[in-house]
Amino acid sequence: MLTLRCTQRLVRRLGSVAQVEPYAPTTALGDWYANVLYTRPRQLILCVSERSLLSVLVPARDPTTFLPRFRETVLSHLTAIGASVQAVAAEGEEMKEIRVGRTASRSVLGSMRDLALTVQQELALERWASLEDLQLHLSTFIMGAIGMRYPCDVALELLQRPRSK
């Protein structure tokens, strides 16, 4: 289980009610944060892992299918960065239950702001053939909030740790 910690703007767009009580995440990558980006030619939802700052981009179409598309995009991205089949399957199993909550970490929100500016700039420059390619690019950004490391490296380390039940 994890909580997708959405900005107020995204909660309104999804038509969800943010849960008030906090739930401890059971996923290796922890809770995720999400915000809508008004980019051209389409709107996107930027989602960032709380523990690794790994980010994914999900098209902002059809709010009713957002949560399954988010889960699918995360699992696909984990495979793309080199996570083992077992680690992806374990994370996918823990992601079957996703709750919507309010944001809680200013540090993650600050990192998201930096990533959002980068996404907007990269899309304007039209450097990437697909959102998947852009996500891979973002996963190799050195992030200060995780000790000047790459989000993909931190994510892979977290996925390799034994899970406590």
SS3 of the chain: the string is CEEEEECHHHHHHHCCCCECCCCCCCCCCCCEEEEEECCCCCCEEEEEECCCCCEEEEECCCHHHHHHHHHHHHHHHHHHCCCCHHHHHHHHHHCCCEEEEECCCHHHHHHHHHHHHHHHHHHHHCCCCCHHHHHHHHCCCCEHHHCCECHHHHHHHHHHCCCCC
Q: How does pLDDT run across 5-35, given as a tens digit for each residue?
A: 999 999 888 887 666 566 789 999 999 999 9
pLDDT band at 41 (very low <50, low <70, confident <90, very high): confident
| pLDDT at residue number 14 | 83
User: Is the previous residue joined to 41 through a cis bond, with omega within 30 degrees of 0?
Assistant: yes
| pLDDT at residue number 23 | 79
pLDDT band at 55 (very low <50, low <70, confident <90, very high): very high
146 contacts 52 by C-beta, under 8 angstroms: yes
User: Which position has the token pair 């000047």?
Assistant: 148
Question: Residue 17 — φ and ψ, nearest 5°?
Answer: -110, 125
Mean pLDDT value of segment 76-103: 96
Q: How does pLDDT run across 98-157, given as a tens digit for each residue?
A: 999 889 999 999 999 999 999 999 999 999 999 999 999 999 999 999 999 999 999 999
Residue ranges covered by each domain of the chain: 2-157
| pLDDT at residue number 18 | 66
Furthest C-alpha separation in the chain: 45
98 contacts 83 by C-beta, under 8 angstroms: no
Q: In the CATH scheme, what architecture does the domain 2-157 have? A: 2-Layer Sandwich (3.30)
